[in-house]
Amino acid sequence: MPEYIGSTNNEVVLSAKKLGDAFNRFEIEVDGSINVGNGATVPSVTAYEPVQVGTNTNIGLNTHTAITSGTSNSALGVGAQQNITEAANNSGFGTSAQLSLTTGISNSAVGLNAQLALTTGSSNVALGVNTQFAPNGVSANALTTAVQGVSIGNESGFGSTAQDADITTIGFRALATGAGATSLGSGAHAAFTQSVALGMSAVSTAASQVHMGARHMEIVEMTAPAAGATNSARIFAEDNGAGKTRLMVRFATGAVQQLAIEP
């Protein structure tokens, strides 16, 4: 059992021992830190307690150390949101999550180093280790000022240094280059503006393209769809009335054209 020895210089001194052991002395200092008697000092327990300042909440060492007028920010983890100043509505959970964030708004980061280099970007979401910080292991491609990017998966994010808006990357090291680019799959890379890369290791080769890699597409027979909007066409498969599957296209005018038929 701990034994109270006394107090001097605003310190509380206790000692404790186990059966067969010598006494171990420790002191609770005025700043709340604990001196264990062997020259080591344990940080104050208050360093790990939730801290509420206005509408901001932080838990962990070196969190919210620079905050000034920021509001509704939440930080959990060593160094999370360490440099935040006037930002608002951000959530950073994980060691060094959003560490460099200063004035960005409405960003969410979960994971070690997630959005670590983000500074003034807004409305971004990162989930995973090094997500939007070191995509594919390259920290030079970190998200810093871009907006409305969503990345889910370790080391997913930008495929270049360009701060393109509205990217979406889902999968381990999934990458996007160009505004509006979307990749889905481990190692997939939507490498052009508004292109889509679907499937593991798929890489788009042109803007506004859907690239699936070496994969096929399968559709089944259906009732002919209604016509689409102006300047559009709808491709579908249907029965020709005699048990044969045929591939069709319906144009915006309502006109239907057969593209191919089962032999």
Could you give the CA distance from residue 131 to residue 147 in angstroms, rounded to a whole number?
15
Question: Rounded to an integer, what distance in angstroms lies between the CA atom of residue 91 and that of residue 72?
Answer: 9
Buried b (16+ CB within 10 A) or exposed e, 127-140: bbbbbbbbbbebee
Backbone angles phi, psi at 141, to 5 degrees: -95, 20
By the 8 A CB rule, do 73 and 89 touch?
A: yes
Q: Strand order in 41-42's β-sheet?
A: 3-8, 11-16, 24-28, 34-35, 41-42
C-alpha to C-alpha distance for 130 and 246, rounded to whole angstroms: 48
CA angle 119, 121, 126 (to 5 degrees): 95
Q: Tokens 């016509």 appear where?
A: 227
In this prediction, residue 53 carries a pLDDT of 86
Write down the pLDDT at residue 5. Answer: 47
Tokens of 23: 């006494």
Q: Is the dihedral of CA 199, 205, 209, 215 positive or negative?
A: negative
The per-residue pLDDT for 19 is: 46
Do the Cβ atoms of 159 and 173 come closer than 8 Å? no
**71-92 per-residue burial string, b: 16 or more CB within 10 A, e: under 16:** eebbbbbbbbbbbbeebbbbbb
pLDDT at 244: 97
pLDDT for res 48 = 53
Length of the chain: 263
| Each residue's pLDDT expressed in tens, for the chain with a length of 263 residues | 444 444 455 554 444 554 444 445 555 555 555 555 555 555 554 555 678 889 999 999 999 999 999 999 999 999 999 999 999 999 999 999 999 999 999 999 999 999 999 999 999 999 999 999 999 999 999 999 999 999 999 999 999 999 999 999 999 999 999 999 999 999 999 999 999 999 999 999 999 999 999 999 999 999 999 999 999 999 999 999 999 999 999 999 999 999 999 99
Q: How far apart are CA 189 and CA 154, in angstroms?
A: 14
Residue linked to tokens 């160009």: 178
Q: How far apart are CA 157 and CA 146, in angstroms?
A: 11
